[in-house]
């Protein structure tokens, strides 16, 4: 009977599969909706079952079926070669990024270094040709606001400027060698390149040429000694402090307590009371490098003793400091060393405008393993004299010319204004092939240029 049939009976239902999605929809209302778990919808199980049926249905469910097959599809494994190449590629990209950003940083720091035009500087002929760099330690206090200003005065307290240290670095990139020539600051010469308004255009101590900056000093050296100067670097008091600080100090063996004592005045600030191998900070190194009234306390000699060589002894101690600095850089070298150095001294150095960061970087890379024992250090032979300029140093000939030929590896250019004697007369510059000679200090400078160790006084601090 029609009235006795249930709502789910009839021929139309018997023809449907038990897996028909429509049948599943009909069953959603047949579940128990009164006993659902709190927080979950009624007939949750039926809903999940319906979803499974739809995913497996032959029609109307291709998207779900595709997803199901994708979930069960096995991902292909990368070959060993592909994994290695991919890893290497990532490493290369990272290295390029690091090196690129590092070099960009160096360029940024280098842009802050003061560049000075030098039209009289000699041109370097090729990347492997030997060249000469004038290194000037300036006593200018201008711009110093750190410890150097506290210890050695400000620009308002000290008028003008002088070159506290004059050294020439001869570099031969092809041979991988380097030599360092020191010119005593009191060497008596005729000035070049200074304006008439300076009142300093006649005979003066060579450090006076720096009164108007490095270019007149370049002119004076080239005209007096025939040494071609290709580049220059000027560093002031604070710059030396920061340079030493950038490598964490230098190690020096101090055999006796030392100080600077000019009739009771400690001009350089040198006062090291601890003996033995120790790390000197930037302030101590600057004081040691500048001391012209060096004294050491040796009980065996009755207490405090004065170094009678004055500026010549000072030059030798500066060279020992350079040795210690090279050793420290060599032992701690890494790609960040140059970055650390530039970051610390950009405001304390100036260079000629032709000296590029690329050249600095190439030299640092080429010479980063350069041993301090390989650096030959020379001092221009002079003899102490006096005239109206006070205590002066007069160039010794033929010793000076012979040594310059060894230093340059060739004959110097012909001087246009030869060095002067104490009477302001030009000293004859000899010609010849040179040879081993002895300076006024008794040190065989010619022999030293060939690698024979020079005699170091027992009281001088040495690298350790």
pLDDT in tens, 194-210: 999 989 999 999 999 99
pLDDT band for 382, please (50, 70, 90 cuts): very high
pLDDT band for 375, please (50, 70, 90 cuts): confident
φ, ψ at 176 (rounded to 5°): 70, 30
What integer pLDDT is reported at residue 297 of this predicted model?
96
pLDDT band for 367, please (50, 70, 90 cuts): confident
Whether residue 260 is contained in a domain is answered as yes
What integer pLDDT is reported at residue 56 of this predicted model?
57
What integer pLDDT is reported at residue 175 of this predicted model?
86
Whether residue 11 is contained in a domain is answered as no
Range of the domain at 167: 112-463
Average pLDDT, the chain: 78
CA 225 from centre of chain: 30
Rounded distance, CA 337 to CA 247, Å? Answer: 8
Contacts of 278 (CB under 8 A, 6+ apart): 251, 252, 253, 254
Do the beta carbons of residue 317 and residue 285 sit within 8 Å? Answer: no
What integer pLDDT is reported at residue 149 of this predicted model?
46
Whether residue 367 is contained in a domain is answered as yes
How many structural domains comprise the chain? 1
Whether residue 85 is contained in a domain is answered as no
- With pLDDT > 90 as the criterion, what percentage of the chain qualifies? 46
* Domain CATH for 408: 3.40.630.190
Higher per-residue pLDDT: 297 or 40:
297
Q: What is the DSSP string of 20-42?
A: -HHHHHHHHTTS--SSPPTTS-T
Higher per-residue pLDDT: 36 or 172:
172
Whether residue 406 is contained in a domain is answered as yes
State the average pLDDT over residues 158-186: 85
Q: Is the pLDDT of residue 4 over 50?
A: no
What integer pLDDT is reported at residue 273 of this predicted model?
96
Q: Is the pLDDT of residue 398 over 80?
A: yes
Whether residue 448 is contained in a domain is answered as yes
Whether residue 86 is contained in a domain is answered as no
Q: Which of 130-144, 170-184, 356-370 has the highest mean pLDDT?
A: 170-184
CA dihedral (121, 123, 127, 128) in degrees, to 10, reads: -90
**pTM of full prediction above 0.85:** no
Write the DSSP symbol of residue 117: -
What integer pLDDT is reported at residue 154 of this predicted model?
42
In this structure, of 85-89, 124-128, 233-237, 253-257, the range with the lowest mean pLDDT score is 85-89
pLDDT single digits (tens) 225-275: 999 999 999 999 999 999 899 888 999 999 999 999 999 999 999 999 999
pLDDT single digits (tens) 94-118: 666 655 556 677 777 778 889 999 9
Rounded distance, CA 80 to CA 395, Å? Answer: 72
Whether residue 238 is contained in a domain is answered as yes
pLDDT band for 12, please (50, 70, 90 cuts): very low
What integer pLDDT is reported at residue 430 of this predicted model?
86
Rounded distance, CA 367 to CA 259, Å? Answer: 34
Rounded distance, CA 113 to CA 111, Å? Answer: 6
């Amino acid at each position: 009977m029609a009235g006795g049939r249930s709502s789910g009976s009839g021929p139309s239902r018997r023809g449907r599969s038990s897996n028909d999605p429509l049948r599943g929809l009909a069953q959603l209302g047949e579940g128990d909706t009164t006993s659902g778990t709190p927080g979950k919808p009624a007939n949750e199980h039926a809903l999940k079952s319906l979803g499974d049926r739809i995913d497996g249905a032959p029609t109307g469910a291709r998207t779900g079926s595709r997803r199901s097959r994708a979930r069960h599809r096995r991902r292909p494994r990368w070959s060993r070669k592909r994994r290695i190449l991919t890893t290497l590629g990532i490493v290369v990209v990272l290295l390029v990024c690091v090196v690129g950003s590092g070099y960009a940083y160096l360029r940024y720091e280098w842009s802050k270094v003061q560049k000075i035009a030098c039209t009289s500087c000699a041109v370097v002929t090729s990347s492997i040709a030997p060249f000469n760099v004038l290194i000037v330690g300036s006593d200018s206090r201008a711009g110093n606001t750190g410890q150097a200003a506290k210890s050695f005065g400000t620009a308002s307290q000290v008028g003008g400027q002088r070159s506290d240290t004059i050294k020439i670095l001869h570099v031969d990139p092809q041979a991988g060698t380097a030599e360092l020539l020191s010119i005593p600051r009191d060497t008596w010469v005729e000035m070049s390149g200074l304006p008439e308004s300076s009142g300093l255009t006649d005979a003066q101590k060579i450090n006076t040429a720096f009164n108007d900056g490095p270019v007149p000093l370049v002119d004076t050296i080239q005209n007096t000694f025939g040494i071609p100067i290709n580049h220059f670097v000027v560093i002031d008091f604070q710059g030396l402090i920061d340079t030493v600080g950038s490598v964490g100090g230098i190690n020096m063996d101090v055999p006796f307590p030392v100080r600077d004592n000019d009739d009771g005045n400690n001009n350089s600030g040198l006062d090291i009371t601890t003996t033995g191998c120790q790390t000197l900070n930037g302030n101590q190194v600057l004081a040691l490098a500048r001391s012209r009234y060096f004294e050491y306390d040796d009980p065996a000699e009755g207490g405090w003793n004065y170094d009678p060589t004055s500026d010549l002894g000072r030059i030798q101690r500066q060279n020992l400091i350079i040795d210690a600095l090279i050793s420290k850089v060599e032992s701690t070298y890494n790609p960040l060393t140059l970055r650390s150095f530039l970051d610390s001294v950009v405001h304390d150095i100036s260079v000629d405008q032709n000296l590029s960061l690329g050249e600095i970087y190439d030299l640092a890379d080429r010479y980063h393993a350069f041993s301090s024992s390989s650096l030959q250090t020379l001092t221009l032979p002079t003899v102490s004299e006096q005239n109206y300029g006070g205590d002066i140093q007069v160039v010794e000939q033929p010793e000076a010319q012979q040594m310059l030929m060894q230093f340059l590896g060739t004959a110097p250019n012909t001087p246009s204004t030869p060095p002067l004697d104490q009477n302001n007369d030009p000293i004859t510059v000899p010609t010849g092939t040179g040879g081993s000679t002895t300076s006024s200090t008794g040190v065989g400078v010619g022999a030293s240029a060939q690698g024979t160790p020079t005699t170091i006084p027992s009281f001088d601090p040495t690298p350790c």
